Amino acid sequence: MAVQELELKPSVPSSPLVGFWKVFSRNRMAVVGLVMLVALVIVAGFADAIAPYDPKSYAGIQSSDIYNRPSAAHWFGTDDAGKDVFSSFMFGARNSLIVGFFAAFISIFIGGTIGVVAGYFGGRIENFLMRFTDMMLVIPDLPLIVVFVSLTKPSLWNIILVIGLLGWTTTARIVRSQTLAVKSRKFVLRARAIGAGNRHIIINHILPLVMPILVVNAILVISLAILSESTLAFLGLSDPLAISWGQMLNFAFGRGAMSVGAWWALVVPGFGIVWVVLGLTLLGNGLEQVLNPRLESHHLMPGKTTLRKEAGFHQLRKPLRDSPVVLDVQNLSINYVSDDKPPARAVENVSFRLHEGELMGLVGESGCGKTTLMMSLTRLLGSSGQIVNGGVIFNNMDLATVTEEELASIRWNGISIVFQGAMNALNPVRTVGDQIGEAIKKHLPIETEKLVEERVVELLELVGIAAHNKDRYPHQYSGGMRQRAMIAMALACAPQVVIADEPTTALDVMIQAQILELLNELRKKLGLAIIFVTHDLGVVAEMCDSVLVMYGGVTAEYADVDTIYNSPRHPYTQELLKAFPDLSNPEKRLTSIPGYPPKLDALPPGCRFAPRCPLAFERCSEETPDLHELGNGHVASCHLVEGS
Amino acid sequence: MRKFKSLTILILVGALILSACGGLGQSQPVTMRVGWSGSPDTLNPGAAVLSEAYTIFGLVFDTMYQLQLDGSFKLSLAESVSVSDDGLVYTYKIRDGVTFHDGQPLTAEDVVFTYYLYQNTDGYPWMGDYTYYFENMEATANNEVVITLSEPIPNIDAQLVFLYVLPKHVWENEDPVEFENTAMIGSGPFKVVEYQPEEFVHLARNDEYFGEVPKIDELIFQSFGSQDALVQAIKTGQVDMIYELPNTAVATLEEDPNIQVVTGAPFAPGVTDIIMNQVTPENCPPDDGLCTGHPALLDRNVRLALAHATDKQKIIDVVLLGLGTPGTALLPDGLGIWYNSSIQDYAYDLDKAKQILDDAGYADTNSDGVREMPDGSRTLTFRINWDSDNIDPPRIAELLSEMWGPLGVKLEAQALDSDTLTSVCCPAFDFDIIIWGWGSDPDPNLLLSVMTTDEIPTGSSETGYSNSEYDALYYEQAAELDLERRKEIVWQMQQIVFDDVVYIIPYYAQNVQAYRSDRFTGFVLDQPKVELSDITSLAYVEPVR
Amino acid sequence: MSHYRYLLRKIGWSAFTIVFVILLNFFLFRILPGDPARSLTKDPRMKQDAVEALRVRFGLDKPIINCFDSFTPVRIGSCSVNPLETQFFIYVKNLFQGEFGISYKTNRPVSDILVERLWNTILLIGAGQILSIIIGVVFGVFAAWKARTSIDYGALLTGLMAWSLPTFWLGIILLFWGSNNGLPIGGKSTPGASTYPLLFQIGDIAEHMLLPTLTYTIVFMGEYMLVMRSSLMDVLSEDYILTAKAKGLSTFQILKDHALKNAMLPIVTIIAINLGFTVAGAIQIESVFSWPGLGGAIFEAVESRDYPLLQGTFLLIAISVVLANLIADLTYSYLDPRVQSE
């Protein structure tokens, strides 16, 4: 069975740099950091012009000028030699920055080279380099630096060299991990397969992907180098004739600033160091957020409250079957909200009814809103998802608006979920049995530990996993076993509805079959209602009772399975089926649907499928089609079926 | 009944508290706390090199002579001395009844034992020098110490003043170099109560002392991390006296009514010098000498011009905040009578300096601001180095650079760590100019020897200066027993080296010390030199009542 | 079985690293310029004989290693040097006997000095680490939990600023403020405190520890906070957190049972590594506050070119770092079951 897959390609920005700048400028932290740095670099660069005094000159200085308080003549007072602190500060910025940058450059160069070489070539080379790195990491750097610098000529170049030569270890490690990750990416393997040379691959493929993380690390290294220089200068190990902030502090601390109360000689240079390091840190942290946006939100951030719009909702006139309805989703609309973009209308006006014992298939391309819809049922959307219309009726409650406490008791107890990609869906540091037991303990009034264990074993055996596995960890299970364990866990509290979100996508065909059979069996045995999210039409055909086809966040078509397969009315459904190989017709030509799914925050007017619909006409791109009833609960949203 | 009981308890408790408070006040010993920023390296008088150790030794041990604040020596352990006519045999009568801190008597036996110990132990850095001329030492039954010299010397007092007398019964069983001597059994006015290395030395009065018994009960020397910390300590009253402090703090401390700041010539004379490499190729040490000095410095005219171009008062103002006097020759004013106070320093006169160089043929032919040698071979660019451990020399180097610049002289400054500095200085002579300094004995012999030809290959001569007239005078004064005659020779020697501009001495720094005048009084302040930490003061201070 | 192999590998590697450090330690101080004997005092009052005697005493007259007189290969005679008489061999032999040599400056056995100093440093660093871990972790958890709210931004900014402060500078500022307000200016205890009753002694030391510990805590709390925050945010965006939420567990339950254990793993590693390095990292704090610890010892030893003390301190620090790393690895392997079966 072929699996129809359309890769979601983001809209390509005009140039990567412009695109990067756009994202970057939105990150306040990064921008503030950058501004701080630029301001200081300008001051340092133009020190000759801006500084009121020449810090090297003793012209006109007398002993009464020493440690003078800030005044109009000297904004930040004078130091131990009677010189203007402000001017020294500006010139000192130069040396502090220069040493920091050059030393960091050396570190990054060495670390980057070692990291890439180790990661790329692997084997003995990697082993040797990484062992060497580990050993250097272990040697305490400040004492080593202190020893080296104090026993050699005090000069800025020595300091740069020593800091640079001893600061590359973390860079090497990070770059190596990143190289390893990139090395196994498909395009690198492809390049090697076509015989590209190592140097070419490294420069053209590996480096560009390692660069971002290297840049973030570089910023950290620079700030550390500046801190190191100031510490060394403070300890008296730098060139005393080279003004730097650390050197200013060395003179102040060593020539009695504290006892005189000359706080300005101590605060001002230190403030400079803090300014630069803070700027770099903000920039680095901001960059990291830009490059690794995962850090922006997490699952425990509070969600958005449901909006209650007065717009009426469709009432599906005839249910698809006769058994009692367990879940009634009415006109559900979900937006993803953000501060600076218009909301993405991820799901709009979707309705369906799930009956007891029914297995509904939810079909659509990646990004059509299937997962969003499913997550919204028990309000598991992230912090930017918001239900803006409609309701989720379950057990006479509208889950979209109940309180957190009420919801907590419904979750898993009434509606549970089998997630896709069970590798991360289970906590790797807790045993599987533990995690299943957790659900039991939360919802069921089982008193003793022993009884819980018994129930866990029962569940595992139900899905065909031997009892002793309950004390093992997820990584010790095979892929198929994990998925079955997820199913076992989903059943732990005997829920009424189980949502299976692409439970077999990552598994091989044989296991797939097993899992599907298992689900079917359990459904019959336990009277479960299952929503099966997939983009595999073959599975849908085999197992489902009803099918909901979604496109671009809206219902394309919704009917019982036979109707969908034998008489699809929506062009999208028809195209899907055309792209699907039919065993009974091996000669059939397979087609694909050209084009890309719509951008949900910039939807064109009219039908969302219109741009790709082979049957589209003028009205389609002007007016959004209603959901038309086609009898027996069959609905489709297309202008073409109007009036049927 | 119960009320009565609780009242009694209340009264009892109250009484206890009051008595504790009052009791504390009564039995509280009078303790003077002294702060310093270093600490003794070891309590072994033979092995120690740091001045803090010597400060303690001076309080805990006795010596044959004691150095006074006016620079003279007074007999201490000995009550009398007689010299043979040939000046070779000295007989000292040791006082009777002197005891060590452990109660054992101190006799001539201990003295002789000590002197031999110092002489024979190879691992003692300085003691070999002090006992160099002692050929034979004996203790007589009459509690006398007879010292026979190998040749007559004028300054036996200066040799004996650092030979702290140790108890034979303690030291004869110990390894002289390894023995840590933390108990420090001596015979001096103070004895050790507790010693924490790097933290403090806790002394208490020795009531059995044969001399002036101190008036304070206890004396604690406490180590602080920096001079700033010392100033804070005395301001907040954590210590009662500090004998080193940054000059920048003087103004602040003087404003404080509870603190008295005293300045004066240093007790242990030291000098900061600007060394110019003048070693000639003939005198360059054959084995170790690199002799890369700039040839211009061999020319007296150049050195003289540099001297005239140096504004010493400015250096004193910036570096010492005015607490110093311009220097002349290598011997500082702290050497008392030995210091030639008649020498007139070279005036700060930039024009004159320029004139001298012009006349001598050093012109700036290419108008780049730096003069060249008369033969045009090199510019007058000098390397200048100093010990990176010191915080004042960089400021001096900056000032010199600014002062000599208009003269047409360029300086290439580079701080060096002390090891490297030693290795370039002497006897390698691989430098042009060095800013350094000396600590001196009360006797001028050491500083004078530094400018002799014989010391060039040993590494003691920093300048490589060689003058046979000076050398002859040196050996003369080393053997001259008559004080006045010796003083004349020493004065003459200073004039010679001053005229030859062997060094440029920027200043003689003053000693700056402070004490809590609201707590203690009686410090000896009317002498030319001031040293609050010396026994001369500490024996007499008493608390302010 | 494989767990034991993992342990053995790690321990073996640590041992190898220690050997490397010992070698490095020895040669490092021999290749640097300067004559150790001469550096004891540059005062010419020291006669040549005394210099020679000192050289013999510290074993500096022996060849460094077979046939090498200095670090440039110069053959001594016909190279019939007894290898047991080389400086290197003597050094290694002494090490195994627990002898670290004699300090040049104080003539005391280096091992005595090290032991005294080590306890002082452990006391100071221990207190500082504990406080900074507690404060940092707690703030980090809150910041991650309440991500993108003002609590988070406030904590983030505080953590970043704390991290940006140069340690020695913060120490100076605190010292300045503290000493003007009655706190001690430095040192570990008031002299003569050993005569006080025990309770007063403890109080005295605590008073002296206040400022340096505060400095240490502020600087390191920033690091722990930032790491905890990002680690917890990473963990909280993992799929299994969504699973836990879907199970109906409360936020607090999720944090407690699922998130914290995972998020603490990187912290554990950092704690162990920091502990190893803090022995060294205390150089700044110990110099500013005159605390008599190992960090200060290194700095003083460097100032006075006291090579045996410098060597001993350096070796001790390096070994403690290696051991700390080993402990970190072992602890991590116990906490994270995924590591065991690698």
* Binding-face residues of C in 59-118 toward A, CB within 8 A: none
**pLDDT given at position A41:** 92
Residue of chain A whose alpha carbon sits nearest to that of C32: A151
Q: Per residue in A415-429, pLDDT tens? A: 999 887 666 888 888
Determine the pLDDT at residue C16: 84
The pLDDT score that the predictor gives to residue A13 is 45
List C-alpha distances in Å: B222 to B27, B523, C298.
23, 19, 21
Percentage of chain C surpassing pLDDT 70?
Answer: 77
Q: How confident is the model at residue A10 (pLDDT cuts 50, 70, 90)?
A: very low
Identify whether the C-beta of residue A383 lies closer than 8 Å to the C-beta of residue A302: yes
> How high is the pLDDT of residue B62?
92
The yes-or-no verdict on residue A34 having pLDDT over 60 is: yes
Rounded average pLDDT over A281-307: 78
Tell me the average pLDDT across A451-455. Answer: 89
Which residues 316-345 of A have a C-beta within 8 angstroms of B? none
Residue in A66, A81, A256 nearest the CB of B228? A256
Higher pLDDT, B22 or A484: A484
Binned at pLDDT 50, 70 and 90, residue B493 comes out as very high
The CB-side HSE value for B516 (13 A sphere, CA atoms) comes to 23
pLDDT for B113-159, tens place per residue?
999 999 988 878 778 788 888 999 999 988 999 999 998 888 888 88
Beta strands across the sheet bearing B144-149: B78-83, B89-94, B144-149, B134-139
The yes-or-no verdict on residue A121 having pLDDT over 90 is no
CA-to-CA distance for A474 and A482, rounded, in angstroms?
7
Per-residue pLDDT of A514-544, as tens digits, reads 878 888 888 888 888 999 998 778 888 888 8
> Residue C68 pLDDT > 60, yes or no?
no
- CA distance to A356, A379, A515, A517, per residue, from A498 (Å): 11, 15, 14, 15
The Cα angle at residue A470 between residues A468 and A473, in degrees rounded to 5? 115
pLDDT in the model for residue A19:
72
Residue A29: what pLDDT?
82
Residues in chain A within 8 Å Cβ distance of C36: none
Please give the helix or strand (H or E) that residue B261 lies within, else none.
Answer: strand B259-266
A82-96, B168-182, B495-509, C100-114: segment of lowest average pLDDT: C100-114
Q: Which tens digit of pLDDT belongs to each residue from C19-64?
A: 888 887 777 776 665 555 555 544 545 556 666 666 676 666 666 6
pLDDT digits (tens, 9 = 90+) for B165-218: 999 999 998 888 888 888 899 999 999 998 887 778 999 999 989 888 999 999
What pLDDT band is residue C341 in, cutting at 50, 70 and 90?
A: very low
C109 contact B CB<8A? no
**Residue B542 or B71, more confident:** B542
Q: Which residues contact B17 (CB under 8 A, 6 or more apart)?
A: none
The one-character DSSP state at B457 is: T
**Cβ atoms A370, A362 nearer than 8 A:** yes
- Indicate the pLDDT class of residue A251, thresholds 50, 70 and 90: confident
Q: What is the pLDDT of residue B18?
A: 47
Supply the pTM of this predicted model. 0.76
Q: Are C285 and C291 in contact (CB under 8 A)?
A: yes
Cβ burial, residue C77 (10 Å; 0-12/13-18/19+): exposed
Q: How far is C131 from chain B (nearest CA, A)?
A: 25
Given a cut of 50, is residue B1 above it in pLDDT? no
Give A575-634 pLDDT, tens digit per residue.
Answer: 888 777 666 666 766 677 777 777 777 777 888 888 888 888 888 888 888 888 887 778
pLDDT over threshold 60, residue B3: no
pLDDT of residue C269: 74
Interval B322-332 mean pLDDT: 90
pLDDT confidence of residue A298? 82
Quick: pLDDT tens for A147-186.
777 666 778 888 888 888 888 888 888 888 888 877 777 7
pLDDT at C73 over 50: no
What residues of A are in contact with residue C295 (Cβ under 8 Å)?
143
Statement: residue C272 has pLDDT above 70: yes
pLDDT of res. A281: 87
Per-residue confidence (pLDDT) for residue C161, from 0 to 100: 87
Q: Distance from first CA to last CA of chain B, Å, rounded?
A: 47
- Tell me, what's the pLDDT at A11? 45
- Comparing A82 with C31, the larger pLDDT belongs to A82
A250–B391 CB contact, under 8 Å:
yes
pLDDT at position B217: 92
Beta bridge partners of A391: A330
User: How much is the ipTM here?
Assistant: 0.79
- CA B230 → CA A77, A606, B233, B237, C293, distances in Å? 24, 83, 5, 10, 20
Q: Which of C240, C255, C302 to mutate against chain A (most A CBs within 10 Å)? A: C240
Q: What is the mean pLDDT of residues A325-331?
A: 88
Q: What is the pLDDT of residue C213?
A: 93
Q: Is the pLDDT of residue B164 over 90?
A: yes
What's the CA angle centered on B163, arms B157 and B164, to 5 degrees?
125
Phi, psi dihedrals of residue A69, rounded to the nearest 5°? -70, 160
Q: How confident is residue A320, by pLDDT bands cut at 50, 70 and 90?
A: low
The whole-chain average pLDDT of chain C stands at: 78
Give mean pLDDT, residues A363-388. 87
Cβ atoms within 10 Å, residue A15: 9
The angle, 0 to 180 degrees and rounded to 10, between the axes of the packed helices A263-291 and A85-121 is 30
pLDDT band for position A57 (cuts 50, 70, 90): confident
List Cβ neighbours of A454 (8 Å cut-off, separation of 6 or more).
none
pLDDT of A30: 86
> Phi then psi for B433, rounded to 5 degrees?
-130, 140
**In a 10 Å sphere around its CB, with 0-12 CB exposed, 13-18 middle and 19+ buried, how is residue C220 labelled?**
buried
Pick among C23, C24, C117, C164 to test the A interface (most A CBs inside 10 A): C164
Q: Compute the half-sphere exposure of residue A124: CA atoms within 13 Å on the CB side of its CA.
A: 0
Beta carbons of B247 and A150 less than 8 Å apart: no
Q: What residue type is A398 in one-letter code?
A: D
> Cβ separation of A416 and C246 shorter than 8 Å?
yes
Q: Give the three-class secondary structure for B438.
A: strand
Residue from B450, B441, B444 nearest B338 by CA: B444
Closest residue, chain A, to C295 (C-alpha): A143
pLDDT of C263 reads 84
pLDDT band with cut points at 50, 70 and 90 for residue C342 = very low
Task: Looking at the complex, report in whole angstroms how far the Cα of residue A204 sits from the nearest Cα belonging to chain C.
Answer: 30
Rounded CA gap, A72 and A86, in Å? 12
> Whose CA is closest to A538, among A567, A509, A498?
A509
More confident residue, C310 or B100: B100
Q: How confident is the model at residue C135 (pLDDT cuts 50, 70, 90)?
A: very high
Kindly report, residue by residue over B436-456, the tens digit of the pLDDT.
Answer: 988 877 888 888 999 999 988
Residue C75 pLDDT > 60: no
Q: Note the pLDDT tens digit of each residue in C226-259.
A: 888 888 888 888 889 999 999 988 888 888 888 8
pLDDT at B403 over 60: yes
When the pLDDT of each residue in chain B is averaged and rounded to a whole number, the result is: 87
Which tens digit of pLDDT belongs to each residue from A67-81? 888 888 888 988 888
What is the rounded (10 degree) CA torsion for A273, A276, A280, A282? 90
If you average pLDDT over residues A108-124, what whole number do you get?
A: 87
From the list C54, C108, C186, the residue facing B123 with the nearest CB is C54
Q: What is the pLDDT of residue B152?
A: 87
The DSSP annotation for A309-331 comes to --------SS-SSSSPEEEEEEE
Which chain B residue is nearest to residue A55, measuring alpha carbons? B398
Count of CB atoms situated within 10 Å of the CB of A310? 5
